[in-house]
Amino acid sequence: MTKYRFLIGWMEGSDSASDPTGIESQEDLLDPNNQVDSFEFELPNGMDGYAWRVGASYAFDANFTAHDSFSLVQKWDGDKWVDV
């Protein structure tokens, strides 16, 4: 099994953001000072191509939408999170 995390945050100034988020690009999701939600899950090895879809479904259930948010999928390589 491979561990993944799906990072998502509302774009700064979007109608859906209730507070300043500090997120103006995908890279801003990695700044711990910004308002970012994270969903962690596991998939069988070799399923990197499905990781974004699984993470997006978790985010959708938490009322996130794609039109005014940035997202990023990473997997745990045993030492650190790396982009998928």
- Give the Cα separation of 64 and 55 in Å (integer): 11
The tally of domains found in the chain comes to 1
Assigned token pair, 80: 């650190």
At residue 72 the predicted structure's pLDDT band, cuts being 50, 70 and 90, is: very high
- What pLDDT does 16 receive? 83
Average pLDDT over residues 68-80: 96
Whether the pLDDT of residue 66 is over 80: the answer is no
**Average per-residue pLDDT for the chain:** 94
- For 45, residues 6+ apart whose C-beta sits below 8 A from its C-beta are 1, 2
Whether the pLDDT of residue 62 is over 80: the answer is yes
- For 39, residues 6+ apart whose C-beta sits below 8 A from its C-beta are 5, 6, 8, 55, 58, 59, 62
Q: Which domain holds residue 20?
A: 2-83
